[in-house]
Amino acid sequence: MSTTSVAFGNPSDRSRSPSDIPWGIEVRDESVIRRVAREGILGLGEAYLKDHWTADRLDEVIYRAFTHPVPRPSPIARLRWVLMVAEQRLFNRQSGPRAFNIGVRHYDLGNDLFRCMLDESMTYTCGYWANARTLNEAQEAKLELVCRKLRLRPGLHVLDIGCGWGNFARYAAQRYGVRVTGITVSRQQAEFARQRCQGLPVEIRLQDYREVSETFDRIVSIEMIEAVGRKNIPTFYRVVDRCLKHDGLFVLQAISANTLSRSSDWRLDQFALWLLKYIFPDGYLPKQSELVELEGTSLRIEDRESFGLDYDRTLLAWASNFNAGWDQLKDQYDDEFRRRWNFYLHGCAAAFRARLIHLYQIVYAKDGSRQIGHAPR
C-alpha cells in the first residue's frame, strides 16, 4: 500500500503528510492515478468504489477536484459524454413504465436505509438552516417555509407531487388543517406514507404525475422535478397548470445546474455521469432557464429564493447519520454500497459548496393574478 499527500490542491501541499491536511488521499492501488488522468472525476469515483483510494474528508477531496484543474477526459471518456447528451436529447427515458424506474432503483433500496440516514420526519430534501441547529430543526423549518409560501389554511386541497415518505403531507395536514393528495413512484414510500398519515385527511397514491386529472387549490413539489427528464419538463409544468385552480399557488423546490451541454463544466459533467450510472438513473437537473421560461402555461413567478449552500450542511448531516448507523445496515448492504453512498453524499455536498449546483424555491401563481411577495418568516 502506498500513499500520496494530495490528489488535488496547491503544489505546496504535496510535501505534507496525508494526516496533516483534510484532503489527503491514501492510495491503495496505483492504477487510480492512470484512471483519474484518463477519466477525471468519473474515474476518481469509480476507483473509490473499488477501494483503490480513501480519505478522511471525502468531501474536501472532491471539492478540490471541482475547484482545481483536472485532466480533460480521454477521447473514450468524451465519447461517453457525447452519447449521454445525445440520449437525453433524442429519447424520453421517463415515459410510460420507465417513470417508475427511479422509484425501484433508488427510493425502494430500503426504508431502513433512509430511516437511518434522514431526520425524524424522513425528509429527503434540503433543510433550511437559517435559524436551525440540528437536522430535525432544519427540515421542520423548510416544511414550515413551504407551507407559509403556499398560504395554507384549513379546507384547502393540496397536491404533493413526489410526496416521499409523507413528510410534507403529514406536516401540512396536522399544522394547517388542509387535505393532501400525495403521489410517488416508489412503492415502499407509498406504503410508509400511508401508515404514518393514518387518521389524517391525506391520500397517498402510487401514480405518475401525468396521470393526475383533478384540480387543487395548491400544488407543491419538493425536489421531484429532477426525475422527470429533460424532454418532460414542459409537460410537468403543463400538468401543474392543468391541475391548479385559478388563482392557486404552486411551490417548487428544485436542484438546478448546467450539465451535459456544450457550455457546462467538464468536472461537473463527469460527476453527473457517475451519479446517473450509480445513484439516480435517468435523472436530469433542470437549468435555471427551464424553471422560469414557462411558455404555454398561465403560471407566473411570484417569489424565488436560493439557499443552495444549505444543501452542503444537509448532505454532510445525512452522511454522518449513514456512517454512524452503518452497524445497523451492514447485514443488508455490502462495503461497495457504503463507498458508493459516501461518494454520492460527499460529492454532492462538494458540488454545492463549489457552487456548481444550485437550489431554488420558487412560488408560481396561476394566471399571475396574485402579488404575494415574500412569505412571512
Q: Where are the beta strands (DSSP E) in the chain?
A: 25-27, 53-55, 157-161, 179-184, 202-206, 216-222, 244-256, 299-306, 358-366
With the C-alpha atoms ordered 244, 250, 252, 257, is the resulting torsion angle positive or negative? positive
Phi/psi for 280 (5° steps) reads -120, 80
Give, as one character, the DSSP assignment of residue 365. Answer: E
Distance in angstroms (rounded) separating the CA atoms of residues 6 and 28:
14
Q: Is 116 an annotated catalytic residue?
A: no
Q: Around Cβ 5, how many Cβ atoms within 10 Å?
A: 18
> H or E segment at 350?
helix 335-353
Q: Which of 142, 148, 150, 117 is nearest to 310 (CA)?
A: 142
Q: Which of 250, 253, 229, 251 is nearest to 241 (CA)?
A: 250
Rg over alpha carbons for the chain, rounded to the nearest Å, is 21
Q: Are 169 and 202 in contact (CB under 8 A)?
A: yes
Q: Around Cβ 33, how many Cβ atoms within 10 Å?
A: 16
The set of cell numbers assigned to 320 is 454522518
Q: What angle do CA 237, 238, 242 make, to 5 degrees?
A: 120
Helix (H, G, I), strand (E, B) or coil at 70: coil
Q: Are 328 and 124 in contact (CB under 8 A)?
A: no
Q: Which amino acids are annotated catalytic? A: 348
